[in-house]
Amino acid sequence: MEKLDKTCSICLHDRKQPKILTCLHVYCCQCLLDYVNKSLKDGQFPCPLSREQIQLPSGGVRNFRIFLKVMEVMTK
């Protein structure tokens, strides 16, 4: 079985409250909040890895889905 990478590519630590973007990249909620605050333009921001433009949900970063598989692995 392939090992699931649980490292946030922004802070380089284990992801905390992992949020998944529409491009399927996953980051810590707080890292994503900080990143979006610096890079948001017209309701969109580039994914830190793929640079794909991501639409910010109406409720903000906290309304991105939680990446449950990472949460399961981190609690084992």
Provide block-wise average pLDDT over 10 residues at a time, the chain (76 residues).
72 94 94 97 96 95 82 53
Phi, psi of 8 (to 5 degrees): -75, 130
DSSP H or E run through 65: strand 65-66
| pLDDT for residue 2 | 41
As given in the structure block, the two tokens for residue 75 are 């609690």
Predicted local distance difference test score (pLDDT) of residue 67: 84
Instruction: Name residue, tokens 């949900």.
Output: 57
Rounded CA-CA distance 62/51 in Å is 20
Superfamily designation of domain 7-68? Zinc/RING finger domain, C3HC4 (zinc finger) (3.30.40.10)
Q: What is the pTM of this model?
A: 0.80
pLDDT of residue 1: 35
